[in-house]
Amino acid sequence: MNSRRIPHYGRMILTVGVALAGVLLVLIYREYRSVAEEIIQTPMAEHEALVRESYLWIGAGSLGALLMCLAIVWVLVQRQTNRIKDLRVQAEKLRDADFGEPLQEYPPDALGQLAAVFNDMRDRLKATTISRDYVDRILSGMNEAIIVTSTDGTIKRINRSTTILLGFDEKELVGTSIDYIVDKNKSGSLIDDSISGIPKEATFESKFGESIPVSYTCSIVEGEGGDSHDRIYAAQNITERRRAEQRIRYLARIDALTKVPNRMQFQHLLQRAIARARRAHQPLCLFYVDVDHFKEINDTFGHLAGDATLETVAERLSAALPDNSVIGRLAGDEFAVVVAGLGAEDEDRSETDRLARSLLDRLADPFFVQGHEVFMTASMGIAFYPKDAANVIDLIRNADAALYSSKKRGGNVYAYYKPQMNEAVVERLMTKSKLKRAFERDELLVHYQPKYNLETGEVFGAEALVRWELPDRGLILPSDFIPLAEETNLIIEIGEWVLDKVCEDFRYWQRSTSPGRVSVNFSLKQLRQPNFSARIGSILRSHEVSPTSLELEVTETTLMENPERTVKLLDQLYALGLHLAIDDFGTGYSSLSALQQFPISTLKIDKSFVRDVATNPDDATIVGTIVQMGRNLNLDVVAEGVENEDQLNVLQRLDCTYVQGLLFGDPMSADNYLELLLAQVEGTDSYRALFAG
Ligand code: C2E
Ligand code: MG
Ligand code: MG
């Protein structure tokens, strides 16, 4: 190393000094000898002068040599003093963390060796300091809060992020226990925490008492001898993450629209309720609620109204239920409620009856959406734990089966689960998937039910009724698959297929005779199609069937869903020349005068009134009134579901115009209907005698 070499001039001075002193001594010695020789050879008289001269020379020479030596000693002492001074200065610098320049190690005397040791110390200290500063910079640059503790959990160091996180200065924390910063209400002690690279969670408490959730790892610092076991806790603030998680958890569990638990969460809550009930040997009651015709509310008033309806359902259920009940939205318009303590026993049953009825009544209160008054009803299925099922899945499934049976009864009712209901649900699911394939497999067919003129007994026309023939099941009636088809868009396809088939059959019959007026049933979903009348028109044209030969049957409830819109549509259809009939009249809530706005020509009295017309005077009065009102409005009145002659006779008396029903046999194929028409022309038909009375 250059800096450690002795400077050039130092060596020169020393060498020249020593050389000069040597030369001087040699000169003195030689002078002394020559003086001595001279004294010997010179006469005695001159001796004294010579001796004096010699003394002078010797004295001056010795003095010179002495001075020279003194100068050398002074230089040497000066140098050593400087070296010691340098050592002191350097030591002071080191004390102040200034490494300065290395010291001279030459000459390799004791001071030189000391300087070498000192330099070495300086080098090592410099290296350590640099790496310590580096570590400090790393620590303070880290976003994680780093806390170093001793084995017993005493904090030894923290970094800047810890101060930022907790508000404590290093001075305030060093010497305290790691548990001093732990929120003891929310976290356990960290002192004996296991060493783990896998992040764990804890809650710290800041200087200001704020709880801070953290994710941290704990690792160990091995000492050189392996005996130090300092720990490093590296912690990260996870408040934001916790918040996001809570939000996600909330979203995952709570239905965003109605703010009640969603299916998953409801099942979880039901699970817990069942566990509690089991421990307490208590029953539970599950209500499965479904809004009737929700799709229609949605389609008629728009999605906002649909959303408002669902919110209303949730609010009303919450308001009407006992405190200990749990509500959930299981899907679309399906809600479920679990009420603890209600069982299947008799006294509980009347309590359940009361609650079920009051819920349905509450739901049926009309409400306003964007100025429209919306009428909504709901249906309900009820199942009990433990009587009907012992677990979540079965309990929900069974309540759903009971709900389905309420729906089948027309809605706005509740039903208790019975084991045979489940078979219907399984069946329903199977049917739905098979129905999609019914078209490809050519499994649909149309049967015709003749309508008779009550006065003459003549066949006046027929009603087309769709059937589904499944190879392994035989004929399936519309009531078993039309509601399913209505849940999807399949009903539109089915409806058009039926109309197409009717037109085809109509042309076939027309070749032999006059088929009369054939009526075809249409569902609400078909009517809702934007281009409905155009589609009907194009099917009729493609078969060259006159619209006046056909009648379109729409149920009373369908008509009244959105009267303004339906009026316009029916006007269009009427303009095409189609006849329009109101089907199942009496099952809805509309007054006859409300129906007057529609361009209808036929009123079909629902078979539920006809069934008891001969035995129940009330029903006879109702049917009589409908017939009279219909006649006054210039409508043809058809009584459906005539099964026996008693009914036929009463209807004749009540002045009804047309009848149809099983009294005249099952609905029949197109070929059989043609045979019937032909027999009538020939006067050989078998039923005419029935009308004679
Ligand atoms: P609907 O229009 O009221 O049809 C009359 C229903 O009463 C038919 O049931 C018929 O078979 C049945 N019926 C006839 N006479 C009697 C009787 O004397 N006693 C009893 N108890 N029932 C009788 P079906 O064929 O099961 O049809 C049920 C409903 O399905 C129909 O009621 C109609 O609303 C609907 N439907 C039938 N075909 C179609 C269709 O092509 N499209 C649409 N959208 N709906 C259809
Ligand atoms: Mg009908
Ligand atoms: Mg009907």
Considering only CA atoms, which of 217, 528, 589 is closest in space to residue 366?
A: 589
Quick check: CB of 588 below 6 Å from ligand 1?
A: no
CA geometry: angle 524, 526, 531, nearest 5 deg? 130
Report the nearest-CA residue for atom 12 of ligand 1: 641
Q: What six digits make up the tokens of 364? A: 């049926």
Other CB atoms closer than 10 Å to residue 663's CB: what's the count? 17
Q: Number of C-alpha atoms within 13 angstroms, CB side, residue 356?
A: 26
Encode burial over 212-231: b for 16+ CB neighbours within 10 A, e otherwise.
Answer: bbbbbbbeeeeeeeeeeebb
Rounded-to-integer distance, Cα 250 and Cα 262, Å: 10
Quick check: CB of 583 below 6 Å from ligand 1?
A: yes
Given this chain, do its domains 142-237 and 245-422 carry the same CATH topology? no
Rounded-to-integer distance, Cα 550 and Cα 520, Å: 7
- Give 562's DSSP letter: S
C-alpha separations of 517 from 248, 270, 510 in Å: 61, 56, 12
Considering only CA atoms, which of 326, 331, 329, 287 is closest in space to residue 312?
A: 329
Q: Which atom number of ligand 1 is nearest to the Cα of residue 553?
A: 2
Per CATH, the architecture of 142-237 is what? 2-Layer Sandwich (3.30)
Considering only CA atoms, which of 407, 401, 406, 403 is closest in space to residue 421?
A: 401
Q: What six digits make up the tokens of 227? A: 């005996």
Report the nearest-CA residue for atom 19 of ligand 1: 641
C-alpha separations of 322 from 38, 270, 326, 513 in Å: 147, 16, 9, 67
- What is residue 92's three-state secondary structure? helix
Residue 471: the pLDDT is: 82
Considering only CA atoms, which of 543, 544, 542, 562 is closest in space to residue 554?
A: 562
Residue 618: the pLDDT is: 75
Quick check: CB of 498 below 6 Å from ligand 1?
A: yes
Mean pLDDT by 10 residues, the chain (693 residues): 47 74 80 76 74 79 83 86 87 83 83 87 86 85 91 93 94 94 90 79 93 91 72 90 73 85 91 94 95 85 87 93 91 93 82 92 88 87 94 92 89 91 71 81 94 94 94 83 83 94 97 96 88 93 95 86 84 93 76 74 89 85 84 90 95 95 95 95 84 76
Please say whether the beta carbons of 451 and 463 come within 8 A: yes
Name 467's bridge partners.
445
CATH of domain 245-422: 3.30.70.270
Report the nearest-CA residue for atom 41 of ligand 1: 466
The residue whose two tokens read 């037109």 is 503
The residue whose two tokens read 């300065």 is 100
- Give 636's DSSP letter: E
Question: Which residue type, as a one-letter code, is found at position 347?
Answer: E
Other CB atoms closer than 10 Å to residue 103's CB: what's the count? 22
Omega of the bond prior to 386 within 30 degrees of 0, cis? yes
Quick check: CB of 522 below 6 Å from ligand 1?
A: yes
- What is residue 480's three-state secondary structure? helix
- What is residue 285's three-state secondary structure? strand
Considering only CA atoms, which of 221, 369, 209, 378 is closest in space to residue 289?
A: 378
Q: What six digits make up the tokens of 142? A: 């880290």
Quick check: CB of 662 below 6 Å from ligand 1?
A: yes
Quick check: CB of 97 below 6 Å from ligand 1?
A: no
Considering only CA atoms, which of 638, 642, 660 is closest in space to residue 581?
A: 638
Please say whether the beta carbons of 381 and 397 come within 8 A: no
Asked whether the CA dihedral 482, 487, 490, 493 is positive or negative, the reply is: positive
Question: In sequence order, which ranges of 175-292 are alpha helices (DSSP H)?
Answer: 239-253, 263-280
Residue 434: the pLDDT is: 82
Domain ranges, ordered by start, for the chain: 3-95, 142-237, 245-422, 427-691
Length of the chain: 693
Residue 301: the pLDDT is: 81
Rounded-to-integer distance, Cα 631 and Cα 627, Å: 6
Q: What six digits make up the tokens of 584? A: 């199942």
Residue 160: the pLDDT is: 93
The residue whose two tokens read 């297929």 is 497
Residue 226: the pLDDT is: 63
Residue 677: the pLDDT is: 95
Burial of 377 (0-12, 13-18, 19+ CB in 10 A): middle
- Give 412's DSSP letter: S
Q: How far is the CA of 513 from the centre of ligand 1 (A)?
A: 25
Quick check: CB of 586 below 6 Å from ligand 1?
A: no
Residue 159: the pLDDT is: 94
Name 218's bridge partners.
196, 233
Residue from 451, 452, 465 to probe ligand 1 pocket by mutation (most atoms less than 8 Å from CB)? 465
Burial of 531 (0-12, 13-18, 19+ CB in 10 A): exposed
Whether the model pTM is above 0.75? no
Domain 427-691 in CATH 3.40.47.10? The answer is no
Q: Note every long-range contact of 488-494, with CB atoms under 8 Å and residues 24 or more positions apart, other chains counting.
A: 488/432, 488/436, 489/525, 490/435, 490/436, 491/523, 491/525, 491/526, 492/525, 492/526, 492/529, 493/439, 494/444, 494/466
Instruction: Give the pairing type, strands 517-521 and 550-555.
Output: parallel
Residue from 521, 606, 611, 687 to probe ligand 1 pocket by mutation (most atoms less than 8 Å from CB)? 521
Quick check: CB of 105 below 6 Å from ligand 1?
A: no
